[in-house]
Amino acid sequence: MDHTLPESLAAIRGGALNGRSAGLDLVKWTAILSMVADHLRYLWPSADGLFVVGRLAFPLFCLVIACHVSRAQPGALYTAANARYLSWMLAFSVLAEGPYRWLDNGSHTLNVMPTLTLGLLVAWGVKHPQPAARIVGLGSAGLALVFGDRLMYGLPGVLLPAACLMLWSRGRPGWLVPCLLAMGANLTNSWLWAHPWQPFSLLVLATAAMALPLGLRMLAYQGASIVPVGRWA
């Protein structure tokens, strides 16, 4: 398992130089398709298995955020790319709320984008040494702690992108925290929290935990090129 970490890091850094990483595109496509499969439950409520497949999506999106953050040199925070990235995250945090309410009007949480946006800010705080980055990162984690019940996947979800950065800095011991956070993020679901030892719940948690190891395997992929995932995603 250890050899996957340097291979995936090399693939990400190569993508930063060449402008494209086939492995990262593979992760993005898997995250998008598993998310779509999860949302198809609103058309077929009896398809419970799609909920399990959907547990891959959030950890993989967090891994994608960690990949983008890891590409930058420490201290390279105030860049046009980062400003554009944060602007799109904030914009879709707002734009996604209406469709989300229409799709699930009984939810007590916001759509997933605010969680991912706060996760990006925390990851920047871990990556970059500027006091502003650290303050904003800590503040974002504090907001998640206070308002975790309003955030999809709660505090564990906000911390997950930053924890994914540890996968490349600590090797094998770094697996434990991100995988536990991926499981903890799903336990913010009230039914899963109330029934953690049900076979279905165990399958859900196992899928969430395996998402990151699977994602790192995909990041190391350097075979035939994958159809790029553009900014539309």
67 assigned to some structural domain: yes
Backbone angles phi, psi at 186, to 5 degrees: -75, -25
Which candidate, 63, 80, 162, places its Cα nearest to that of 121? 162
Number of structural domains (the chain) is: 1
Q: What is the pLDDT of residue 105?
A: 81
Q: Is residue 53 situated within a structural domain?
A: yes
**Does any domain span residue 152?**
yes
Per-residue pLDDT, 3: 52
Inside any domain, residue 231? no
Handedness of CA 35, 39, 44, 50 (dihedral sign): positive
Residue 16: the pLDDT is: 44
Residues 57 and 118: their CA atoms lie apart, in Å, by 17
pLDDT digits (tens, 9 = 90+) for 37-81: 999 988 888 888 999 999 999 999 999 999 999 988 999 999 999
pLDDT for the residue numbered 17:
39
Contacts of 212 (CB under 8 A, 6+ apart): 59, 60, 63, 164, 167, 175, 178, 179, 182
List per-block mean pLDDT (blocks of 10 residues) for the chain, which spans 233 residues.
53 52 92 94 86 97 94 92 95 95 88 98 96 97 97 98 82 76 96 95 97 92 82 70
Domain that holds residue 112: 4-219
> Closest by alpha carbon to 120, among 89, 146, 166?
89
- Under 8 Å between Cβ of 178 and 212: yes
Asked if the structure places residue 227 within a domain, the reply is: no
Q: Answer whether residue 81 is part of any domain.
A: yes
Residue 232 lies in a domain: no
225 domain residue, yes or no? no
